[in-house]
Amino acid sequence: MADVKIRPVRTKRELKRFVKVPFRLHREEPRWVAPLVYERMEFLDRAKNPWFEHGEAEFLVAEREGEPVGRISAHLDRRWDEFQGGNDAMFGFFETANDPAVARALLDAATEWARERGRDRILGPMDFTTNDELGILIEGYERRPMILEPWHPPYYRELVEAEGFGKAMDVLMWELQFGDLKEGERFDPAIHVAAEKALREEGIVIRNMRKREMAAEVARFMDVYNEAWGDNWGFVPITDAEVEFQAKNLKQVIDEDWTYMAERDGEVVGAALTLPDINQVLAKLNGRLLPFGWLKFLLGRRKIDQLRVFALGVKHDYRHSGVAAGLYLKHLETAARPGTIEGGEMGWILETNGPMNRAMEGMGGKVVKKYRIYEKALGAP
């Protein structure tokens, strides 16, 4: 069999080829959902994505006989160094054929890039940070990924571990079906009690996010996000420029009915960002909105019946005031409307986040997917 060659991306055309690698690898896989090519191109564009203001990356494509058979990024983030300490590099956007030689060539190229820059450890995959898509799927292969979730076949895990990468952290996706919760069969009464305390005794008001002032609302949300997740493993606060970049992308997806702000005396103290699972629509577009994709997207959105609770958090001073419980109940109130969402998934939740995982159990949830972030020490070659 021909040797595997690793080629760095240098042009826009080569970047598009990098983006399209999984289209070739997974074209016969019904569970994989193609991302929008133009969105991925913008995300990886050094002139557009403000992550590059504090990070640097190399994009690499694996070829055999001129055909792409895998891809990977190697990157480092100065804000990760600042907030997480250590001297780490990361890899991401990892895709590979079911071939140990391809996986080895990709991972060796990424680790060598990191070693040349004096890094002590490499972590991944994360695209580019824990605020983005991350991990290798290790449980839940039979399920289609939801919005902003990757999907991988089982051999990814096997190939990565064969190259000496070990577990750094697992993150969980919990499934919640609102029909069960509305019937009250599996809902912990203590959550109701805590929510009532927050709303009545603490003066907490929960409202919907205002899409007409999206940039300001996303900024308010990120203020909560950066504080609420600040102590979490792997967390790096998002910058104002990144907030603006993300707000532009999310505006096309957000449904005001499913985004909430918890306020006390005008201060936002908690928030929940819940996104319709547009992967139900994207699965039919093959990465393109033109020429007829926009029509399919607009018509398909009306039929979405699942969602992803992407982030739900409360500022430190209000963690024991019942605000989170109030946000949980707000989801149930919205779900009680006729013809609305049936259920969905919540995560990522770190396996070490006891309070959130207990809350999911209290709401009758079950873990349906698990993703693993890997690590490897970088000693001498």
261 in any annotated domain: yes
- Among 129, 145, 169, residue at a domain's last position: 169
Whether 379 has a pLDDT exceeding 90, the answer reads: no
| Residue 273 and residue 151 share a domain | no
Least trusted range by pLDDT, from 72-81, 155-164, 249-258, 298-307: 298-307
Whether 99 has a pLDDT exceeding 70, the answer reads: yes
pLDDT tens column, 39-72: 999 999 999 999 999 999 999 999 999 999 999 9
Would strands 4-8 and 267-276 be described as parallel, antiparallel, or unpaired?
Answer: unpaired
| Residue 49 and residue 29 share a domain | yes
| Residue 265 and residue 128 share a domain | no
At 310, which CATH number?
3.40.630.30
Residue 303 backbone phi and psi in degrees, to 5: -100, 0
- Structure tokens belonging to residue 28: 């016969």
pTM: 0.92
- Among 115, 141, 169, residue at a domain's last position: 169
- Among 169, 204, 224, residue at a domain's last position: 169
Per-residue b or e along 192-205, where b marks 16 or more CB atoms closer than 10 Å to that residue's CB: bebbebbbeeeebe
Number of independent structural domains in the chain = 2
| Residue 247 and residue 343 share a domain | yes
Q: What is the pLDDT of residue 183?
A: 47
Residue 92: domain span: 4-169
| Residue 190 and residue 161 share a domain | no
377 in any annotated domain: no
- Of 77, 71, 80, nearest to 16 by C-alpha is 71
- Of 202, 180, 171, 192, nearest to 365 by C-alpha is 180
20 in any annotated domain: yes
pLDDT tens column, 324-370: 888 888 887 887 776 667 788 998 899 999 988 988 888 888 999 99
| Residue 285 and residue 143 share a domain | no
Whether 249 has a pLDDT exceeding 80, the answer reads: no
203 in any annotated domain: yes
pLDDT tens column, 106-146: 999 999 999 999 999 999 999 999 989 999 999 999 999 99
